[in-house]
Structure 1
C-alpha cells in the first residue's frame, strides 16, 4: 500500500513517503501549500498524490527526531484554513441489537461538526478538554480525507486514523442538545495518508497510561467490517449537502468508534496518556489528556 505524508521543516513545506521508524532519516521533497490537493483533483484519485510527491526541487534528508521537523495533518491547507473536522456517531454494529439486512434502505447516522482542520493535533501533542469534563472517552477511528476541486466536487484522497476525544458523560446528560459541547475536546490525527480505498478490517489496542504504568487496556476494531452503515452511503449522503462542497475544502471525515474505556467503566483523567496502536496498519497515535483552564474572572 502507498503512504504519503506532509511536514514543515525550517519554514518550508515538504512531502515524503511511508511511515518512518525510530532512528530513520526521512527523504523530503519540497512542495507548496495545496500542491498535493491540486494533483489529486487533477487526476481524480489517490494515485496522482503518490506521483506528485517526488516532483520539483532536489530532496533533502532529515533525521526523524530533528527538532525543526513538524508533521502536518494530510493535505492540510495552512494558508487558507479551508478545512473541516466532522464525522458520524453510532455507526458500529456493536451499538445495534441486530445485523443490517443486505439490501436495507440507508438511514443516515447522527453527524457532528468538530471544527477547523487547523484544530487537529498530531501524535505526542497534548489534547486539551474542558476544565471539568464529566466522563471522557477516547475514540479510535478511521478518518477519510476528501478534497474539493475548484467546482466543489469532492475527491477522495485516502484515509488515516484519529482519536476523537470527547466528553461522553456530558453527551449522555442531554443527548439531544449537549453533544456539540461534548465534542469540544481536541482531536488527534496521524499524518500518514494511506492512498487506498477505505479499509475493510482495522484492529488495534488502546492503552491508557497513568503515573508511568498501564491503567487500562483493551482492543478495538473500526474498519468497514465493523460498521453497521455502508461507507459509500454515508459519504454520498453527506456530500449531497452543498455547504460541504465549497471549492477547495479539505474534509476530515471520522467514521465513528467501537466501544472502549467508558463502556468498561474506566474514567480517563487529567494527565493520562492514551496510546492507540492500530496494529493492523502499523500506526501508533499517542496523546496526553490535558484539562483546559477556566476563563479568568
Structure 2
C-alpha cells in the first residue's frame, strides 16, 4: 500500500491511496499523522486503519504531481514538532566516496581516516543479533519540518552555499505514540540535499553541510522494506540527462540493520515526545559530486525506485539574498 497527502481543488488537505493512475481518497482523513495516531490508539496496523476508513475515486495522480499538489507524505501542523535527521556510512560502498572526500590531495594525513574507521565499525558490528546493541552509526541533524520541500518544488539555496548536491536515499517515517513509543509507519524516497564542497574542506564541517533543505516522497510505502532495492538517480539540465547512476539500498546492501539505526536514534529521550514526527535518512553510496558533477540553478533531480511508485523530482532554485553581518542585536 502506498499513501500520499495532497491538496484538492479547494486547497484542502486529503489523504489518498495510489491505485494505478488514480488516487483513492480516504474518508475522514486530513493527514497521515492523525491516521497513524488513530491506528496506534486502536492497536492495529496503519493498513487496517486505511481499510476501515473506506475511500472513493479521486483525482488523476499524474495531474496532481504535474500541478505540484502532492505534499510530503508525513508532516506535522507545527513544523517544530517534526525532526529531520539521518545516518551516514551505512551502505556498503559508501565509505570509498566519503573517504576520498575526507583525504587531502589524495593522501591520508595520519593513517586511516576517521571516515574509514567508522565504516569498519559498522561492517564489524552494525548488524547485531536480535536483542543486542550494535555499533553506533554516524548521526546528523538537518532541521525541523520547515526545511522540507514538497515533491516537484525547487530547493532554495542559501547564499553562503558552496554546492547544491543530491543524495538519493530511503527515509524512515515515524510517529511517537501517546505513551512515548516510536512507531515506524513506513518508508519513502528521499533527497537529502547537502553541500559536499563544504564537507570536503574538513569532515568536521559535515554538520554545517547538512543544514540544508530536503525532500521526501511523493509516496509513503506502508509495511516492511525489501532487503534488496535498485534505484536510479538522475540530473537533468535543459531537459537533457547530464548524469545518471544506479543506487542500491535495503539491508542486503547496508552495513547496519534498520533496527540498529533506529535504536541509536530513538535511544535519546528527547526524541520520544508524544505526537512528534521523525523523518530519518538512511544514507547512500551514490553521489554525482563523486563523479565531478557541478550542479547549477535550473537543474532537476529525479530519484526513482519501482517499489516506491512515482519518482521524487526536485529542482535547484536561485540563491537567496545574503544575510547582513551583525544581524544579532543586544537588548
Settle same-fold status: TM greater than 0.5.
yes
Higher strand share: 1
User: Counterpart in 2 of 1:240?
Assistant: 267
Kindly provide the CA deviation profile for residues 93-121 of structure 1, in whole angstroms up to 9, marking residues without a partner as x: 11347693487672212111111224312
Kindly provide the CA deviation profile for residues 204-228 of structure 1, in whole angstroms up to 9, marking residues without a partner as x: 1111111221111111112222111
Separation in 2, partners of 1:19, 1:108: 39
Are residues 1:18 and 2:15 paired? no
Match of 2:149 among 121, 130, 138: 121
User: Counterpart in 2 of 1:86?
Assistant: 85
C-alpha distance 61-281 of structure 1, shift in aligned 2 (>3 A): closer
Are residues 1:100 and 2:100 paired? no
User: Counterpart in 1 of 2:35?
Assistant: 36
Match of 1:62 among 48, 59, 63: 59
SS at match of 1:93: coil
Unaligned runs of 5+ in 1: none
C-alpha distance 230-44 of structure 1, shift in aligned 2 (>3 A): farther
Unaligned runs of 5+ in 2: 96-115, 325-331
CA contact (8 A) 2:247 2:285 kept: yes
Q: For the aligned residues, what is the CA RMSD?
A: 2.7
Match of 2:210 among 154, 164, 183: 183
Aligned residue pair count: 291
- TM-score norm. by structure 1 comes to 0.86
C-alpha distance 69-162 of structure 1, shift in aligned 2 (>3 A): closer
- TM-score norm. by structure 2 comes to 0.78
Match of 1:194 among 197, 211, 221: 221
Larger radius of gyration: 2
Higher helix share: 2
Kindly provide the CA deviation profile for residues 27-84 of structure 1, in whole angstroms up to 9, marking residues without a partner as x: 4433135431222322556x3x223235558746334325988323233222565211
Kindly provide the CA deviation profile for residues 139-177 of structure 1, in whole angstroms up to 9, marking residues without a partner as x: 11111111111121101111111000100110121222x
